[in-house]
Amino acid sequence: MKKKPKVLILMGSDSDLPVMNEAAAVLAEFGVASHMTVASAHRTPARAADLATGAEKRGIEVIIAGAGMAAHLAGVVAAHTILPVIGVPLDASPVKGLDALLSTVQMPPGIPVATVAIGKAGARNAGILALQILARSDRSVAAALKAFRKRMAREVEKKARRVESAATPL
Amino acid sequence: MKKKPKVLILMGSDSDLPVMNEAAAVLAEFGVASHMTVASAHRTPARAADLATGAEKRGIEVIIAGAGMAAHLAGVVAAHTILPVIGVPLDASPVKGLDALLSTVQMPPGIPVATVAIGKAGARNAGILALQILARSDRSVAAALKAFRKRMAREVEKKARRVESAATPL
Amino acid sequence: MKKKPKVLILMGSDSDLPVMNEAAAVLAEFGVASHMTVASAHRTPARAADLATGAEKRGIEVIIAGAGMAAHLAGVVAAHTILPVIGVPLDASPVKGLDALLSTVQMPPGIPVATVAIGKAGARNAGILALQILARSDRSVAAALKAFRKRMAREVEKKARRVESAATPL
Amino acid sequence: MKKKPKVLILMGSDSDLPVMNEAAAVLAEFGVASHMTVASAHRTPARAADLATGAEKRGIEVIIAGAGMAAHLAGVVAAHTILPVIGVPLDASPVKGLDALLSTVQMPPGIPVATVAIGKAGARNAGILALQILARSDRSVAAALKAFRKRMAREVEKKARRVESAATPL
Amino acid sequence: MKKKPKVLILMGSDSDLPVMNEAAAVLAEFGVASHMTVASAHRTPARAADLATGAEKRGIEVIIAGAGMAAHLAGVVAAHTILPVIGVPLDASPVKGLDALLSTVQMPPGIPVATVAIGKAGARNAGILALQILARSDRSVAAALKAFRKRMAREVEKKARRVESAATPL
Amino acid sequence: MKKKPKVLILMGSDSDLPVMNEAAAVLAEFGVASHMTVASAHRTPARAADLATGAEKRGIEVIIAGAGMAAHLAGVVAAHTILPVIGVPLDASPVKGLDALLSTVQMPPGIPVATVAIGKAGARNAGILALQILARSDRSVAAALKAFRKRMAREVEKKARRVESAATPL
Amino acid sequence: MKKKPKVLILMGSDSDLPVMNEAAAVLAEFGVASHMTVASAHRTPARAADLATGAEKRGIEVIIAGAGMAAHLAGVVAAHTILPVIGVPLDASPVKGLDALLSTVQMPPGIPVATVAIGKAGARNAGILALQILARSDRSVAAALKAFRKRMAREVEKKARRVESAATPL
Amino acid sequence: MKKKPKVLILMGSDSDLPVMNEAAAVLAEFGVASHMTVASAHRTPARAADLATGAEKRGIEVIIAGAGMAAHLAGVVAAHTILPVIGVPLDASPVKGLDALLSTVQMPPGIPVATVAIGKAGARNAGILALQILARSDRSVAAALKAFRKRMAREVEKKARRVESAATPL
């Protein structure tokens, strides 16, 4: 995986790493290189802006940004680039990610953030959504995604068999 | 705009047209052709599945799906294609789109929906997000998006001037 | 319990088994055979549609579908059958089943889902609701349900005695 | 429609009539007689209990109960009968039916209420769900429901044509 | 405490006992006898109605009813008596008592339930509210409540001293 | 109604008068005098405290306090008296009374507020709850409440007749 | 009011002007000059950052920022200055300002936003809070605030008289 | 730190100490003395009022008040002083601090509370917000805050380095 990264994965704090790793992991499964780092919309606004502004020139195609609480990171990043920005709301406060979800998805007209589910499920889906965007101009990713869909279906069917084995046959 | 449509805009009901038109309108502003139609995840599941399954072959690059209440349309469409699917949650019930938002964004791992804001703001942003995805392989769209960002900024500044004119100078 | 299953119990993932078992268990208590399997509305949409479409011909009278997050399974199943579909919203995300509840209950006009409570209580009640529907054409189930109601009442009274024993008499 | 009613439609207040009429109307469309009346779980608890207790003997097969606020009607009715009880949460307070939804759907284990969507959409779906239950032992209702599904699909397709006519062809 | 009970404490399930004991305990601290038992609005509706209907004649002055989920108990009890009914919403489902709170407090016009906080804090306050009502016609309870208020204030002040001792003096 | 007031009705602002009048009206229907005035927990804290502190001596038996937004009035009043305090959460902000409900009902252990429904329904019920408390020591109020309950039931039945007249007979 | 502005009032869009004017108006009532302008965290991120960064040097003491939806403005501004930043969440989407409230108040550790109520009430309070901060180093503002408090109390009392005049005397 | 305290930190209960200590700790880091004590808006209303009323004379510049449930403390304190009052909503009930947040932030026009995030993050930010207010008239605090911002940014960058070290270089 020494290829140039096509996806930039940002997180508001290094404590978000275990969750955001899900995005990096799924990209790695598909052989797509990603660059992962920390940038806080509030503690390092210039850093967040610079990473976003410079991403396109560095060959980044999609940015994934995960943050909790008043999760401004994805929106702030989206304000500095025309690359598609995928926002992952994290469950990092007593209100269980509802704050991060609304802060990420309710972007005003003009600057969209492609928001996915709260937490780990969302982080993994952010990686897959990035692959679906990359697949628009990379046939090998498209083919891999189609194979992945079939694999997922087969896994569900395998689990179905296991659950059925204990059940009355249809 | 007799070009082949690159974006497929689906809505669960024709009553959603005034909102979903925002997506079509912004695409038209950028000279990108879209095809807009109605498909219900529940009343016409086969139609929704067929439109999703066949979209890639027809040259569609991105699908936008808007639905209210238990808004399953975007998720059902996403299950039948590896194209990026953008979900627009609509405010169509007493709980004001919170049902549609959670039904659209909280997709389980494996099948993401790129969710935008509830209602008109979201529909417009769905169009812009589609453009940002198209721009990955279309330099003219990328250039147009950069110009659009500058125009938006100038408009904000013009409005700022108007508001300031009545205010004490800084 | 080698009888032909009258109730089909579907779940979006095998991790839902411990909860959905509650539905199977209550049906078994009443000597009603059920078939339980896994079908994801998103990872195996065709499988979910096929199971729903074919259920009536296989002698199924009621379908129970449990799913978490953007719980589309019950709605997708309901779209493919005129059998009554009972939806069990599962608590499978940081927002504690509120996403699954709204995704299951807020069905648009035309395709209802009979929704029960979130989680285990709902899964058990899904089984009982299925029995109440079966009882419409099966007197033995109706009689068993009436006996069950009396048993439940007696159990509450027994517990009441235990609580009262430590209390001042009325 | 001088047939004996098979569905009992209850509402907590006569102000709920315009909404609950949706349930009666859809039943009438299918030629199924229903009896509609008012019974408050709180202002007339004995009346609500009596209607529920006596329903089965009077030939009722399904009960639909609509109520707003702390909507106890469906649950109270369900406590007095083993007939399937469909609950329609009504939007009758500043919190927009969320109170009625949770009061209706979150029934404790033992006594289920088959809950549908908040308001008019839910009332109409309550009628359809009742028909789906009746169809288990009435082939003509089953056939009519299948025809209804096709009609609904055709209507969606007709609307789709109308929306498409203004759009770029696919 | 062999006195006749003046407060009837009902709970929907014996699993609610550890919480509802808080109400009994505070009444006992004031030397007011209470009778505590289980009555389910749904599993034993007749029992709940009978307890409510007969309470006044048995010398009960106030009823406290605690229930979780679709907490109908307090409302159902209130429908059968003109005694003041205090409702304690319990945290017994994934939505953390919000269901029980709305089911208890949002009573329709005519039949109020005096609702207190969710869970243990509410159960304890239900006991105190019952005492405040009893104090209207029992001077000794009134006097005890005033002493109790002073004690509470002193305890807060004692704790304040402890916290302050580690702090910079004002 | 020149009798000495037994119920003190407070509201946070005179804009709450149309809603809080419901409480006064129902008391007047029962011939119970009430005194109604404005006192803000925040703008006139001393006034609120004084009214609460002095109420018992002036012969007040129950206090009703209605407020919107961060509705502290009922809690602040309750802190200064051992009289039962009934809180009416008002719908006075974009979040539709949910703020006032939680601010009123979630009182910490020691100082309860008897909370009723949001808005007009709650204000009317506050009056009835006050009557139910007064009835503990006033047989004529108790008798009037019983008659009122019967009247309410008869009214529901009258409305039931009207709804039924258009329906298929049971 | 030709004095140099001490308070900078920012809003995300000129459509927020009628609400944010409340903040300017209350400052004007106290003779404190403010400068009001538009700056979008997303459409003009550099402008928002520049205004925040330069504010302290221009003599600004407090910044007020109002925004709706995913209201990032206050947080983004706070990231660029050590001046106290007051955030006003605006009701500008179907979810009624709950999105803006959580986006504004749930700031991560390190960069606080002093959040006030949603909408007009909050905008007015933002002005008053700014005055309370200015009063720390400006005795005339402090004195004016004390007079204002007295005036507010008198107004409440005047309204109280009006409401009481129609009521039974205490 | 034998200096006179400039910040008064109040909490509704000594069980709030571990959370509210975050505010005291950050002030101590900056060498600003604070006085911390317990005062309940409901159990010791006079104490809360006295502490608020007397604070200004004792040299207090800012008050921080933390409370859970129906968190009235900050509002009650704000009603008795023109000092800026910072409210910290605490997560002390099953609804996870949403009650405390709305009770603290939704203050009616006239008496603002500067509300920060729920729980520990909010308590720490309350301390920092207090410092930002103190910095308006204390250059050394302003300088320390600027240094603190830089330190925070450097820490984020250090963490970024650590996360990046395992990632593909950009």
pLDDT at D1 exceeding the cut of 60: no
Residue in E with minimal Cα distance to F60: E136
d(CA C59, CA C69): 30
pLDDT at F1 exceeding the cut of 50: no
Q: How many other C-beta atoms lie within 10 A of the C-beta of residue E147?
A: 11
G68 φ/ψ angles, rounded to the nearest 5 degrees: -110, -175
Chains A and D lie in contact, requiring 3 or more CB pairs less than 8 Å apart: no
Q: What residues 114-153 of chain H have any CB closer than 8 A to a CB of chain G?
A: 114-118, 120-121, 124-126, 128-129, 132-137, 142, 145-146, 149, 152
Q: Could you read off the pLDDT of F16-46 as tens digits, one per residue?
A: 999 999 999 999 999 999 999 999 999 999 9
Residue in C with minimal Cα distance to E94: C96
Closest CA relative to residue C26, chosen from C105, C118, C137, C144: C144
Residue in G with minimal Cα distance to H147: G82
A132 and B111 within 8 Å at the Cβ level: the answer is: no
pLDDT at B1 exceeding the cut of 60: no
d(CA A79, CA A65): 13
Task: Describe the crossing of helices D45-55 and F139-165 by its angle, rounded to 10 degrees.
Answer: 40
pLDDT at H149: 97
pLDDT at B3: 83
Q: Could you read off the pLDDT of A70-89 as tens digits, one per residue?
A: 999 999 999 999 999 999 99
Q: Which helix (H) or strand (E) holds C101?
A: helix C98-105
Least confident among B69-73, F1-5, F84-88, H28-32: F1-5
pLDDT at A48: 97
d(CA C104, CA C99): 9
ipTM: 0.96
Q: Could you read off the pLDDT of B85-110 as tens digits, one per residue?
A: 999 999 999 999 999 999 999 999 99
pLDDT at A168: 62
Closest CA relative to residue A31, chosen from A143, A112, A107: A143
Q: Could you read off the pLDDT of B114-144 as tens digits, one per residue?
A: 999 999 999 999 999 999 999 999 999 999 9
pLDDT at E3: 83
d(CA B71, CA C118): 19
| D71-74 long-range Cβ contacts below 8 angstroms, 24+ apart | D71/D12, D71/D99, D71/D100, D71/D103, D71/D104, D72/D41, D72/D42, D72/D103, D72/E41, D72/E70, D72/E72, D72/E75, D72/E76, D72/E103, D73/D10, D73/D11, D73/D12, D73/D39, D73/D40, D73/D41, D73/D48, D74/D104, D74/D113, D74/D115
pLDDT at G169: 64
pLDDT at F143 exceeding the cut of 50: yes
pLDDT averaged over chain C? 96
Tokens of G115: 């959040």
Tokens of A111: 């600057």
Report yes or no: F107 at the H interface, CB cutoff 8 Å: yes
Report yes or no: D33 at the E interface, CB cutoff 8 Å: no
Residue in A with minimal Cα distance to G42: A79
Mean per-residue pLDDT, C20-33 = 97
pLDDT at C1 exceeding the cut of 50: no
Q: How many residues does chain H have?
A: 170
Mean per-residue pLDDT, H16-43 = 97
Report yes or no: C38 at the B interface, CB cutoff 8 Å: no
**Which among F93, F103, F111 is the nearest to H103, CB-wise?**
F103
Could you tell me if A130 and A86 are in contact, meaning their C-beta atoms sit under 8 angstroms apart? yes
**Which among B69, B108, B113 is the nearest to C106, CB-wise?**
B69
With a CB cutoff of 8 Å and minimum separation 6, the contacts of A101 are: A89, A115, A118, B101, B105
Residue in B with minimal Cα distance to C105: B70
DSSP-derived letter for residue B119 is: S
Q: What is the largest CA-CA distance in chain C?
A: 62
pLDDT at A1 exceeding the cut of 60: no
Confidence of residue A62 (pLDDT cuts 50, 70, 90): very high
C121 and D109 within 8 Å at the Cβ level: the answer is: yes
Tokens of A66: 């995960």
Report yes or no: B110 at the C interface, CB cutoff 8 Å: yes
Size of the A and C interface in Cβ pairs below 8 Å: 73
Burial C77-91 (b: 16+ CB within 10 A, else e): bbbbbbbbbbbbbbb
Size of the C and D interface in Cβ pairs below 8 Å: 112
What is the three-class DSSP state of E56? Answer: coil
CA atoms within 13 A on the CB side of F50: 8
E130 φ/ψ angles, rounded to the nearest 5 degrees: -60, -45
Can you count the helices (H) and strands (E) in chain D? 6, 5
With a CB cutoff of 8 Å and minimum separation 6, the contacts of B30 are: B131, B141, B144, B145, B148
In a mutagenesis test of the E interface, which of H27, H38, H53, H63 is the best target, namely the one with the most E β-carbons within 10 Å? H38
d(CA D105, CA C132): 17
Tokens of D145: 């429901």
* Tens-level pLDDT at each residue, chain E (170 residues): 468 999 999 999 999 999 999 999 999 999 999 999 999 999 999 999 999 999 999 999 999 999 999 999 999 999 999 999 999 999 999 999 999 999 999 999 999 999 999 999 999 999 999 999 999 999 999 999 999 999 999 999 999 999 998 766 66
Could you tell me if F65 and F36 are in contact, meaning their C-beta atoms sit under 8 angstroms apart? no
Give how far Cα D39 sits from Cα of D12, D124, F21, F156, G24, Å. 5, 20, 28, 7, 54
d(CA H63, CA H48): 12
B14 and D167 within 8 Å at the Cβ level: the answer is: no
Neighbouring-strand partners of residue G86: G64, G114
Residue in C with minimal Cα distance to E33: C168
- Distance in Å, alpha carbon of D68 to nearest chain F alpha carbon: 12
Mean per-residue pLDDT, A101-119 = 98
- Distance in Å, alpha carbon of H9 to nearest chain G alpha carbon: 16
Could you tell me if B12 and D121 are in contact, meaning their C-beta atoms sit under 8 angstroms apart? no
Residue of B168 and H62 predicted with greater confidence: H62
Chains F and C lie in contact, requiring 3 or more CB pairs less than 8 Å apart: no
Closest CA relative to residue B160, chosen from A1, E165, G48: G48
Computed on alpha carbons and rounded to an integer, the radius of gyration of chain A in Å comes to: 17
Report yes or no: D102 at the F interface, CB cutoff 8 Å: no
Tokens of H145: 């805050």
pLDDT at F9 exceeding the cut of 70: yes
Report yes or no: D165 at the B interface, CB cutoff 8 Å: no
Neighbouring-strand partners of residue E8: E35, E63
Chains C and G lie in contact, requiring 3 or more CB pairs less than 8 Å apart: no
pLDDT averaged over chain H? 96
Residue pointed to by tokens 């007020």: G64
Task: Name the E strands within E81-157.
Answer: 85-90, 114-115
Chains in touch with G (3+ beta-carbon pairs under 8 Å) read A, B, F, H
Mean per-residue pLDDT, D99-114 = 98
d(CA G33, CA F28): 51
Contact residues, chain B, for D170 at CB < 8 Å:
5, 8, 35, 37, 58
pLDDT averaged over chain G? 96
Residue pointed to by tokens 């089965």: D56
Least confident among C1-5, E84-88, F12-16: C1-5
d(CA B79, CA B67): 16
Mean per-residue pLDDT, A120-124 = 98
With a CB cutoff of 8 Å and minimum separation 6, the contacts of G21 are: G36, G123
Closest CA relative to residue E20, chosen from E82, E63, E56: E63
Tokens of C92: 């499978």
Q: Could you read off the pLDDT of F41-64 as tens digits, one per residue?
A: 999 999 999 999 999 999 999 999
D106 and E98 within 8 Å at the Cβ level: the answer is: no
Could you tell me if F105 and F113 are in contact, meaning their C-beta atoms sit under 8 angstroms apart? yes
pLDDT at D3: 83
Task: Describe the crossing of helices C45-55 and A139-165 by its angle, rounded to 10 degrees.
Answer: 40
